[in-house]
Structure 1
Amino acid sequence: MTYLANRQETVADRLRPVVTTIFGHEPPVRIRAWDGSSIGPSDREGGPTLVIRNRRALRRLVWSPNEVGMARAFVSGDLAVEGDFIEALDSMLHLFDATQGMHLNSQDRRTILAAAVRLGAIGTNPPPPAEEMRPVGGLLHSARRDAAAISHHYDVGNEFYRLVLGESMTYSCAYWPDLDDPSATTTLEQAQTNKVELISRKLGLKPGMRLLDVGCGWGTMAIHAAREYGVHVVGVTNSHEQAVGAAKRAAAAGVADLVEIREMDYRDIDDGPYDAISSIGMAEHVGTEQWPHYAELLYGLLKPGGRLLSHQITQPPTVTEHLESNRAGGKHERTFITAYVFPDGELQSSGWISDRLESVGFEVRDVESLREHYAKTLRAWVANLEQSWSEAVQLTSVGRARVWRLYMAGSALAFDRNRIAIHQVLAVRPDRKGRSHMPPTRRSYATVD
């Protein structure tokens, strides 16, 4: 066979033209091939090593020279990393950036194709790993399709989530008041308590109030509001495992009389009015076309003077515009996130969200970015997963554990680089005279000690 013609030439030798074409120079991370040969920084310089375990890894990239192909290789185990996973990913992430990714001309493609032939990497397209979400039928963001997407991500097993998220079981950005203090000792659990306390203050919770926690997860916000503020809470989730877990946690916390958990679609909530609404990590699943209806529904469920806190991942307008331009040009490619993590998820900018809230009658009172806080939260989750890797694999599968490692590490870097962000948008439903009944300054809710 062609790739055995010269046994003196190593796989790394044949990889070199591909690597230099892609990076424009020697690779920033050491790359070791299946024959033991390597290219890039020497072992003496330290740093992580990208391991290409077989030709199938290259074949996946030939068929999908984008982040999906790279993800398939990682999830299947055809690619692996020795050493610091986040550092290794950081050295390659720019290649698959939504706006600054690989730009290969015809000569570059010929160079890569010729090397692939010599490496024996040409062949049929390998099937994707079982963890990849198959396309779901039905209308985008219909109740049935949303339920399937939510189940794919959240019904992985409560014990797996406990291992990754920690005992707080809080699957959203934590709040680290001492983020810029390298000597700080705030734990992940403390930072998650800080987050729900910050939201409680922004909502102005008081005993006897009625709070709707839409997209309640495993109940952390509901339990905190009930236990610390004496609030009656209705928590809503589309995930069966979350609903069961949240109800059990509320009972264990001694607040079952104040917390009601419902397994239902948000569109079916019809028992307002509520004094306040929290939407934490929920609005990303709603979808661009459905968002105005979502805002209108929440507005209708609030009492005049009632506050809404939307805590959600956002996307800078420059990234959104680039993606929309690609779609208009017929380049509507799947991404790693939509294929493996959040099927049908859509992100908007903080300004877009504020516009939609105001268009249905809300007054937006406060917008706060927590981008750096999410990067730190994700690193804590990656550390939890890596420290308990064997248990994580037993609870799910090795492929699912790889998905989560790649997803969380890549997301941490995306927050670092401002490719995505996270904002808390505080809005109020004014009364008939247009008054908000909000405090005139941020002092009552701006920070958590």
Structure 2
Amino acid sequence: MAHAAGRLAALLGEVLGGPLPLRLRAWDGSETGPAGTPILVVRNRRALHRLLWKPGELGLARAWVAGDIDVEGDLYEALNRMAPVVWRRDDGEQQDRIGLRDRRILGLAGRVLALAGPALPPSPPPEEVAPHRGPAHTVRTDRQAISHHYDVGNDFYARVLGPSFVYSCGYWPDPESTLEQAQFDKLDLVCRKLALRPGQRLLDVGCGWGSMVLHAAEHYGVSAVGVTISVEQADLARKRVVEAGLTDRVEIRVQDYRQVADGPYDAISSIGMAEHVGSVAYRTYAEQLFTLLRPGGRLLNHQIARRPRDDESTYHIDEFIDRYVFPDGELQPVGSTVTLLEQAGFEVRDLESIREHYALTLRAWVANLERNWTEALKLVTPGRARVWRLYMAASALAFEQNAIGVNQVLAVRTAPGGVSGLPLVRAAKVS
């Protein structure tokens, strides 16, 4: 027990309430723990200082982003093994365990300091976003949050997403399909659900790098407007429109959804954008899209959802996601989304869960990032690349294990007389 790994494993065992389910390697090269498992590497004593000064998720996140801790071996297996003792679930029992764990860290402060040595609080890694003061989800704060996540370099995203430049769940009729085929099939599925026809006007809210509007204009003959509040996304999207020869039918704007005022549109797509809207603004979002849609027009809302809880007042913000990935991002149960769309005036006509498809998509993105790791580190900081690898791998497991889901909700602004314009049979609507 004299070497650092043994002493550290004993401390972690007391904090977690059981043995560490991974092999552990400490900064002095010593190792302990079950053989044949991924190795949790604690590279320096600063990792302990981070956990002591900020117990829980944020301390772990800072240690990971800074490179103070790492994993050798299969990252998915490591996360699966650690999930029951590290990551918070939404049930009350696990939340109680998390609180007890954090108190144990503080109770063991003397032994932690004896192992790590005294030190001032380490500075957070530079990619961290400090919580802002004042109301969230204003036009200004949403622009800042989106810029943090998306304005990190189009070349970096090219390495992760591939040539489709689609940053949302693909659609995998065959799990052996390529990522490019899955993204083509997803965009085409959205177009078919919207029943797009030549000459119609399409609004794509949160258009990203323009893939949806390009697909709809090229394959369905629509005139399309894409809006994003990411300047870097808009710059590349406009270049792609020019390269595709579609400047007469596709317009890309740097514009908040609340500022769009040139309706009516025949159809609206919102793919992977509503997670950024926030509960305080969601009714405004739904009402704005309803206003922009002509009677009889359709909305396709593609959105990640979390599981509901008995007590919604206990919603826990994931500190790693909020500080390093999606500042101010919020997930809601799909039932809440449907209710708010209906309250805004929409008639919800169809809902398709494609949860497993997102797990396949995320694993493909992680594989792209790992394959292009050396190039990625030339485009962003090591901390940023580590953030993306961890959050995408952890998210893939969350979708696989039904901790979160993703749904396509098709809604219509019913025309006078209750006319929806939809066919009687579901199969005809989506094929």
| TM-score, with length taken from structure 1 | 0.91
Residues in 1 aligned to 2:332 and 2:426: alpha-carbon distance in whole angstroms: 25
Q: 1:221 aligns with which of 201, 212, 217?
A: 212
Q: TM-score, normalised by structure 2?
A: 0.94
Residue in 2 aligned with 1:35?
28
For 1:107 and 1:177, how far apart are their aligned partners in 2?
47
Equivalent residue number for residue 279 of structure 2: 288
1:85 partner letter: L
Query: For residues 94-243 of structure 1, what are the structure 2 equivalents within 5 Å?
Result: 94=84, 95-99=86-90, 100=94, 102-104=98-100, 108-109=104-105, 112-179=108-175, 184=176, 186-243=177-234
Q: 1:250 is matched with which residue?
A: 241
Q: 1:86 to 1:217 in 2, by over 3 A?
A: same
Is the 1:385–1:405 Cα contact (8 Å) retained in structure 2?
Answer: yes
Q: Pick one of 344, 347, 357 that aligns with 1:360.
A: 344
Alignment counterpart, residue 260 of structure 2, candidates 257, 269, 293: 269
> Does the CA contact (< 8 Å) of 1:370 and 1:422 recur in 2?
yes
Give the gaps of 5 or more residues in structure 2. Answer: none
Aligned to 2:411: 427
Task: State the distance in 1 between where 2:344 and 2:102 align.
Answer: 50
Q: Secondary structure at the match of 2:291?
A: helix
* 1:80 alignment counterpart: 70
In structure 2, distance between residues paired with 1:244 and 1:107: 48
Q: What corresponds to 1:11 in structure 2?
A: 4
Matched residue of 1:444: which SS? helix
Mean alpha-carbon deviation: is it higher for 104-113 or for 163-172? 104-113
* Contact 1:56/1:121 (<8 A) preserved: no
- Per-residue CA deviations over 1:34-75 (Å, capped at 9, x if unaligned) read 111122112xx2x32110001100111112222211110011
- Larger deviation, residues 248-257 vs 160-169: 248-257
Contact 2:9 2:24 in 1 (8 A): no
User: Given the superposition, is the C-alpha separation of residues 105 and 193 from structure 1 closer, same or farther in structure 2, using an over 3 Å criterion?
Assistant: closer
What is the rounded CA distance, in whole Å, between the counterparts of 2:221 and 2:103 in structure 1? Answer: 67
Aligned mate of 1:71, from 61, 73, 79: 61
Answer whether contact 1:98 1:323 (CA < 8 A) is retained.
no
The equivalent position to 1:324 in structure 2, one of 306, 313, 318, is 313
Matched to 2:148, the amino acid is H
- Kindly indicate whether the alpha-carbon contact (under 8 Å) linking 2:305 and 2:334 is maintained by their aligned counterparts in 1: yes
CA root-mean-square deviation: 1.8
Identify the residue that residue 388 of structure 1 maps to in structure 2: 372
| Partner SS, residue 127 of structure 2 | coil
TM-superposed CA distance for 1:107, in Å, is 8.5
Tell me, in whole angstroms, the C-alpha distance in 1 between the residues paired with 2:147 and 2:125. Answer: 18
Range with bigger deviation, 414-423 or 275-284: 414-423
SS at match of 2:426: coil
Amino acid at match of 2:55: P
SS of residue paired to 2:345: coil
Is residue 61 from structure 1 mapped to residue 51 from structure 2 by the alignment?
yes
Match of 2:401 among 400, 412, 417: 417
Residues matched between the structures, number? 425
For residue 4 of structure 1, what is the aligned residue in structure 2?
A: none
Cα gap change, 1:430 to 1:333, in 2 (>3 Å):
closer
Contact 1:305 1:428 in 2 (8 A): yes
Give the Cα separation in 1 of the matches to 2:70 and 2:15.
19
Task: Mark the CA change 1:173 to 1:121 in structure 2 (over 3 Å): closer, same or farther.
Answer: farther
- Provide the C-alpha distance between the structure 1 equivalents of 2:329 and 2:253, rounded to a whole number of angstroms: 22
In the TM superposition, what whole-angstrom CA distance separates every residue of 1:110-150 from its partner, at most 9, and x where no partner exists? 76334313212543221100010123344311111111111
Does the CA contact (< 8 Å) of 1:98 and 1:322 recur in 2?
no
Letter in 1 for 2:140: R
Decide whether aligned partners of structure 1 residues 159 and 298 sit closer, same or farther in structure 2, where only a CA change above 3 A counts. Answer: same
| Equivalent residue runs for 1:278-357 within 5 Å | 278-318=269-309, 324-325=313-314, 335-357=319-341
Instruction: State whether residues 236 and 265 of structure 1, in contact with CA within 8 Å, keep that contact through their aligned partners in structure 2.
Output: yes
- C-alpha offsets along residues 96-120 of structure 1, whole Å, 9 cap, x if unaligned? 2243353527994476334313212
Question: How much does 1:396 deviate?
Answer: 1.0
Q: Which amino acid aligns with 2:183?
A: Q
SS class of match (2:301): strand
1:304, distance to aligned residue in structure 2 (A): 0.7
Instruction: Read off the aligned partner of 2:297 and give its amino acid letter.
Output: G
Equivalent residue letter for 2:78 = A
CA distance in 1, matches of 2:322, 2:311: 17
- Contact kept in structure 2, 1:138 and 1:145, CA below 8 Å: no
SS in 2 for 1:176: coil
The letter for the 2-side match of 1:18 is L
Contact 1:138 1:144 in 2 (8 A): no
Asked if the contact 1:212–1:277 (Cα under 8 Å) also holds between the matched residues in 2, the reply is yes
Letter in 1 for 2:2: E
